[in-house]
Amino acid sequence: MGRFQDKVVIITGSSNGIGQAALLDFAKEGANVVLHGLNPDRIKETEELLKKAGVSADRRLRLIELAIPHLKKTKGNTVGVSSTGAFRKPINHDLHTFYSTASAAFDHYMRNDTERLASFGIRINNVNPGPTKTGIFTHDGSNDAEKNAGLSVYEKLSRNAVIPGGAEPWEISRVILFLADEQSKSITGASYYIDRGLSTFAPQ
């Protein structure tokens, strides 16, 4: 029997990247998973991966606010996926400013909602990945100078990490499962930085 046997796990953005890795890991641990995504082809691909893992997929669109009434009854918990961009200066690219701002708002929401949800027995935590081998990082969003130097966003961030390189999606997934598990029942309102030390880096 898996760690999450017969528990319901809803993961938004689970048709690729970190979300997909977490979905498959939860499913392998016995959870009833809900697959959500915007790309039909990627959803079908993830469904096939779930079938190969011996589990079924139930695709629904749900927001965390809709889940809270159910979490109150089950004393469940939520694990959000934010970013180290929540507290770092954006790379020289306009879209990254909005991405970092949204990540910071998400972190702030988590911290501010901790006490309210704790009164219902609900834990809420975030993981903040750094450079990870997913589409958002490997897609070229660099400025012209970086493009000319052959540097993608992923490469630019990875070379600044204390431990050079980036994470695989499954590495982030393992931390998500740890925070969702009962062995983490004393952890709430926390942000886990999985960034190879990037958050400690200060450009000279």
DSSP 21-77: HHHHHHHHTT-EEEE--S-HHHHHHHHHHHHHTT---EE----HHHHHHHHHHHT-E
Q: Which of 4-8, 57-61, 118-122, 169-173 has the lowest mean pLDDT?
A: 57-61
Least confident of 132-136, 170-174, 184-188: 132-136
Q: Where in the chain is the domain with CATH 3.40.50.720?
A: 1-62, 67-200
The class that CATH gives domain 67-200 is: alpha beta
Average the pLDDT over 77-105 and give the result: 71
Contact assessment for residue 55 and residue 33, using Cβ atoms and an 8 Å cutoff: yes
More confident residue, 183 or 82: 183
Percentage of residues in the chain with pLDDT exceeding 70? 67
1-62 classified as CATH 3.20.20.70 = no
Give per-residue pLDDT as tens, 29-66: 888 877 766 666 766 776 666 665 544 433 333 456 67
Q: Which token pair is 40?
A: 């039909």
**Between 91 and 190, the higher pLDDT residue:** 190
- Residues 164-174, mean pLDDT to the nearest whole number: 86
pLDDT band at 186; cut points 50, 70, 90:
very high
User: Under a CB-based contact definition with an 8 Å cutoff, are residues 96 and 85 in contact?
Assistant: yes
Residue 104, pLDDT > 90, answer: no
| pTM across the whole model | 0.68
Q: What mean pLDDT value characterizes the chain?
A: 75
